[in-house]
Structure 1
Amino acid sequence: MDAQMGSCRHAIAEVRLTPVLVCDPPLLNVQGVHQPYTPRLVVEVVTEDGVTGVGETYGDTKYLELARPYAPLLVGHDIADLNGLFTLMDAIGVDESRVDDSVGVGGLRGVQTADKLRLSVVSAFEVACLDALGRTLGVPVHTLLGGKVRDSVEYSAYLFYRWAEHPGGTGEKDDWGAALDPDGIVAQARRFVREHGFTSFKLKGGVFPPEREIAAVRALADAFPGHPLRLDPNGGWTPGTSLRVAAELAGVLEYLEDPAPGTRAMAEVSAGTDVPLATNMCVTTFPEIREAFATDAVQVVLADHHYWGGLRRTQELAAVCRTFGVGLSMHSNTHLGISLAAMTHVAATVPNLDYACDSHYPWQSEDVIVGRHVFRDGRLPVCDAPGLGVELDRDALDRLHRRWLADDGSMRDRDDAAAMRRAPGRSQWSAPALPRW
């Protein structure tokens, strides 16, 4: 190994894995409610030259169980050998008991496979290597990806039905209050506009019967005439219900995201409406593209570099979408500033970014970077500093890691259904089989 490192100028000398728990508001979705804390994994690669690059991904146990044996394999690996990251991951076995092939698990991301778990882990290491390489060469990550085509990236306000606080008063408090009806959703949107300047809005649906969510979208349309609106029930509806909602909101929605579970159901909906359908559930890997595009099941794909295996594969996805005339946006799950920086860099390089990107970031009150990203007029500037352009806040990272260490294990795996069962009168709650309505 020493000989290998000696022959490689930018070899990795050390890898650090730091799981953290980040406070999360009581945001509702089809499965339940967000837990008071959500797990994330921060990855650092340190080169023999002393340069450190950072990445981030899911921190649930099943991802940690892959990242821990994978990390030592990278010692001696050249940070520029990004293809080799996938080859090294091929040697890591997956505990099949950790894989759930039901639709809607794992953060509402659709069918789960061992390969998808591997890609989500590799994504963090690829970003960390790109960050280290950019710092080494003195160029931003977007330059390593071919250069930016825009100086800022547009993001959309991500609206949620939510409670005022977590059951039992657990978790961190905030001043957002409850949003359980159209007036609450409109008030939430107005605050997003006031604080961040967003000009488009996405509502997380699947929480209430469709009629109530139609009313919320119509209230948004009245409050923000001409602004793009989206609705995402995470596969919570049958094709029949999806078509009824699409008819009700024709001319109102920019697109309807994952109304029905799975490609076949989406194709049935698509055949019966002119409202564009988007997905981050039935198209999350390259093998899933063929059926979805051939059947015209989706007209917009929401990329997520955590799903696809990193930033370069996100660019590959964008090229495929461009080839087939399918629109492109970007998906978000609860994430920190490292992931938002990576997302912004790759979004800056994609010519066919047709829609504003999603981001949970305004909901997150904690971070592991020095300073917070600031949205202006609903956009983030593309950083031209070397690498990702972010610096770790060591004190914050240590504090959130100590929270993870102190946890009894109940928060180390995201489980929205378990969080819902803690609410009064919901002790028998279980994540509903999809479709729900």
Structure 2
Amino acid sequence: MRTSGSVGEPPTLAIAEVRLTPVLIADPPLLNTQGVHQPYTPRLIIEVITADGTSGIGETYGDTRYLQLAAPLAAALPGHSVSDVNGLFTLAEQVCTDPSEVSDSVDVGGLRGVQTADKLRLSVISGFEVACLDALGKTLGLPVHGLLGGKVRDTVDYSAYLFYRLAEHPRGRGESDDWGAALDPAGVVAQARRFADTYGFGSFKLKGGVFPPDEEIAAVRALAEAFPGRPLRLDPNGAWSVETSLYVARELAGVLQYLEDPTSTTARMAQVAAGTDMPLATNMCVTTFPEIEEAFAGKAVQVVLSDHHYWGGLRNTRELAAICRTFGVGLSMHSNTHLGISLAAMTHVAATVPNLDYACDSHYPWQSDEVITERHVFTDGRLTVCDRPGLGVELDRAALADLHRRWLDDDGTMRDRDDAAAMREADPHWTTPPVPRW
């Protein structure tokens, strides 16, 4: 096991301490095919402190299984160099044993397809890699995008992320907001107008798989009428059969920019792709490098939604982008329920990728909590790429302590995301729908 920095590197680059802080952040009652978001969702904040006191921060999923893997990696890192990010993978393989009870069910935290121990480990490594790059950038006086080869754009486009949603969480739990319910086309359009007016977003993605397909087709058509010429996307998270997917593709031909994960599995996606000219996107069947060959060779997807949490960090995201460019597959960026650390990391790596073909997703406007001192501000649907050293964000320790206290005070029901359990608060008979749902 490696326990020290590389030969010839200054001792100030050695990691002296690692801090893991699980938090619970408020989440609105957003609907998806599996249920509804819980009132609070877990995230993990990772902080690495070098020998000279420089602090680097990262963020990833905070569910119990991720914490089980993060703890031994954190314990093994003191003495490791922040510049040796390749070594994180070797170290993780040595010390991160498989978490208990890893299932073959869909990972609800990102609805990314089947959950495996390797995928969990990559998501944990991603947070540590970002923290190391943040610390290294601060030490060298370089922004993270400079460590990744330099930016090719000064701003990054983001898309409005629309959801069917309840007005409030079942039984009045969680934090309240003024968004109201969105359960029909009029509600979806009203939500989109607010996103456009407040943040300037020019493209819109609707999370589908909630209502029968004809109702969601009507919502997309209403968006097209309200925002003529704007790029639109629909993502039912694999809720449809091949036949239903082809039906929706026909009905929305010329309306959608792309259709995201209409059906589950690469084989089914390939069947849909063979029957339509509409581009198909995914963040479910292509989330690791071994999954690329089948999908690309079978022409199952035309757009991959990258996510540095899935792929093991920012450098792996750039490798994915290069592969997509080689095979002529489009590239966008997936979002989970995240805070500003992750959004900063997303923006840095997006700035370095030449073939970022579509605006990136982001849940960020939905999140009211924050652990950095200044919230990110979207202008005309874009974020300006930060040129300050590291990620360019600073930890708000008081806010972090408050959100960690919420995690400590929780009775355990919110420490693992479970959209079906949250839905049972409203409907005691709710069960996770079978796939395909329609």
Tell me whether the two structures share a fold, i.e. TM-score over 0.5.
Answer: yes
Provide the rounded CA distance (Å) in 2 between the counterparts of 1:68 and 1:104.
Answer: 21
Q: Which residue does 2:400 correspond to in 1?
A: 397
**Within 1, Cα distance between the matches of 2:319 and 2:101?**
28
What displacement does 1:113 show?
A: 1.0
Could you tell me which residue of structure 1 aligns to residue 197 of structure 2?
A: 194
SS in 1 for 2:94: coil
1:262 is aligned to 2:279: no
The TM-score normalised by the length of structure 1 is 0.98
Q: Distance in 2 between matches of 1:44 and 1:7?
A: 20
Preserved CA contact (<8 Å) 1:104 1:234: no
| Cα distance in 1 for residues equivalent to 2:289 and 2:264 | 18
Query: Is 1:283 aligned to residue 290 of structure 2?
Result: no
Residue correspondence of structure 1 range 21-420 to structure 2 within 5 A: 21-95=24-98, 97-103=100-106, 105-420=108-423
Letter aligned with residue 116 of structure 1: K
Where 2:290 maps in the other structure, the secondary structure is helix
Query: TM-score if structure 2 supplies the norm length?
Result: 0.97
Q: Distance in 1 between matches of 2:373 and 2:429?
A: 42
Report how many residues are paired: 435
Task: Judge conservation of contact 1:210–1:245 (CA < 8 Å) in 2.
Answer: yes
Following TM superposition, by how much is the alpha carbon of 1:7 offset from its aligned partner in structure 2, in angstroms? 6.9
Aligned counterparts of 1:104 and 1:47: Cα–Cα separation in 2 = 34
Q: Deviations over 1:158-217 (max 9, x none)?
A: 000000000011000000000000000000000000100000000000000000000000
Task: Map Cα deviations across residues 17-64 of structure 1 (whole Å, 9 max, x no partner).
Answer: 000000000000000000000000000000001100000000000000
1-structure distance, mates of 2:12, 2:108: 42
Residues 331-350 of structure 1, C-alpha deviations (whole Å, 9 max, x = no match): 00000000000000000000
How many percent of aligned residue pairs carry the same amino acid?
A: 76
In the alignment, the residues of structure 1 paired with residue 4 and residue 271 of structure 2 have an alpha-carbon distance, to the nearest angstrom, of: 55
CA distance in 1, matches of 2:99, 2:372: 34
Query: Could you tell me whether the CA contact under 8 Å between 2:69 and 2:99 is conserved in 1?
Result: no
Unaligned runs of 5+ in 1: none
Deviation for aligned residue 1:97: 3.8
Match of 1:192, SS state, is helix
Q: Distance in 2 between matches of 1:7 and 1:179?
A: 55
Give structure 1 regions of 4+ aligned residues with deviation exceeding 2 angstroms.
3-9, 92-98, 102-107
Q: In structure 2, the residue corresponding to 1:212 is in which secondary structure?
A: helix
Q: Which secondary structure does the structure 2 equivalent of 1:107 belong to?
A: coil
**Structure 2 residue matching 1:9: 3-state secondary structure:** helix
C-alpha RMSD of matched pairs (Å): 1.4
Separation of aligned partners in 1, 2:208 and 2:200: 23
What code does the residue aligned with 2:175 have?
Answer: E
How far residue 145 of structure 1 moved from its aligned partner, in angstroms, is 0.2
What is the CA deviation profile of residues 125-174 of structure 1, one whole-angstrom value per residue up to 9, with x for unaligned ones?
00000000000000100000000000000000000000000001100000
C-alpha displacement of 1:435: 1.0
Aligned amino acid, residue 434 of structure 2: A
Aligned residue identity for 2:429: Q
Distance 1:100 1:389 in 2: 37
C-alpha separation in 1, matches of 2:374 and 2:401: 16
Residues 125 and 312 of structure 2 are in contact (CA less than 8 Å); yes or no, is this contact kept in structure 1? Answer: yes
Name the SS of the counterpart of 2:121 in structure 1: helix
Secondary structure, aligned partner of 1:328: strand
**Equivalent position amino acid for 1:138 in 2:** G
Q: Distance in 1 between matches of 2:47 and 2:108?
A: 28
CA–CA distance in 2 between the matches of 1:399 and 1:250? Answer: 48
CA contact (8 A) 2:44 2:59 kept: yes
SS of the residue 2:12 aligns to: coil
Q: SS of 1:371's equivalent?
A: coil
Partner residue in 1 for 2:431: 430
* Equivalent pair of 2:28/2:37 in contact (CA under 8 Å): yes
Task: Work out whether residues 106 and 112 of structure 1, in 8 Å CA contact, stay in contact via their aligned partners in 2.
Answer: no
Deviation for aligned residue 1:231: 0.1
Consecutive unaligned residues in structure 2, runs of 5 or more: none
CA contact (8 A) 1:104 1:235 kept: no
Are 1:103 and 1:434, in contact at CA under 8 Å, matched by a contact in 2?
A: no
Structure 2: distance between partners of 1:285 and 1:105: 17
What is the alpha-carbon distance in structure 1 between the residues aligned to residue 315 and residue 10 of structure 2? 26
How much does 1:122 deviate? Answer: 0.3
**Are the aligned partners of 2:65 and 2:100 in contact in 1 as well (CA < 8 Å)?**
no
For 1:366, the aligned partner's letter is: D
2:15 to 12, 30, 35: 12
Q: What letter corresponds to residue 434 of structure 1 in structure 2?
A: V
